[in-house]
Amino acid sequence: LWAMWQASGLSARWARASAAGGPTGAVADRDLDAVVSLFDAAAGFVDRLPHAGVAAFVEHLAAQSLPGDSGAARAPAGETVRLLTAHAAKGLEWDLVCVAGVQEGLWPDLRSRASLLGAEDLVDAAGGADPATLDRRTLALAEERRLFYVACTRARRRLLVTAVDGALEGGDAGATASRFLDLVAPPPAAG
């Protein structure tokens, strides 16, 4: 696992992005946290089963059920704030919904979703599509747009969508408001 990580060259690139801050830094932080979690899982697995191979570890990971946030305190129903991903909010509604951080690079997040084992190609092939002819970026953009729609339509009465424009004085030069903002409000009039 360590050899694969070193060979990927991602360590230095993500560390630089993390140190730079802004939306790109936040994504790099999450990615680095995920890699650390993977190494922690591998260490725990090796401690329990020191003679098991890579295939057993991959099978172990695939069988995991990932909790949303088991460490979070549960508040009573009523006047509470719930922090959820758009996926977790699907099927639920509230009077007020805030969709925060609608920035390019975060929403839409067009990074490759290719898995290590290529499962997405198998799913596409099973569905009758030729994985070689699919435009993954276009598909990812459409999926992100659907997810943004899901998030915004959770509001029964009021919707608040936030973004930062790095072009504003003192703003993060790398922060650009998402193209999806035009889906919920028209762009400001020029001049």
pLDDT per position as a tens digit, 15-34: 888 888 888 888 888 888 88
Query: What phi and psi values does residue 29 have, to the nearest 5 degrees?
Result: -60, -45
Residues 55 and 84 in one domain: no
Last residue of a domain, one of 66, 82, 107: 66
Instruction: Please give the model's pTM, rounded to 2 decimal places.
Output: 0.51
User: Which residue would you say has higher pLDDT here, 137 or 82?
Assistant: 82
Q: Return d(Cα 66, Cα 70) in angstroms, integer.
A: 9
Residues 46 and 13 in one domain: yes
Q: What is the pLDDT of residues 76-86, one digit of tens each?
A: 666 788 888 88
Per-residue confidence band for 71, with pLDDT thresholds at 50, 70 and 90: very low
Phi-psi map region of 86: left, alpha, beta (phi>0 left; psi -120 to 50 alpha): alpha
Residues 100 and 30 in one domain: no
Residues 170 and 131 in one domain: yes
Residue type, 104: E
Per-residue confidence band for 68, with pLDDT thresholds at 50, 70 and 90: low
Domain holding 51, by residue range, is 1-66
The residue-averaged pLDDT of 67-71 equals 51
Residues 180 and 109 in one domain: yes
Residues 92 and 175 in one domain: yes
Looking at the 3D structure of the chain, how many domains does it have? 2
Residues 117 and 32 in one domain: no
Helices (H), the chain: 2-8, 10-20, 22-48, 54-62, 86-89, 119-126, 136-152, 181-184
Residues 116 and 60 in one domain: no
Residues 110 and 174 in one domain: yes
Last residue of a domain, one of 27, 45, 66: 66
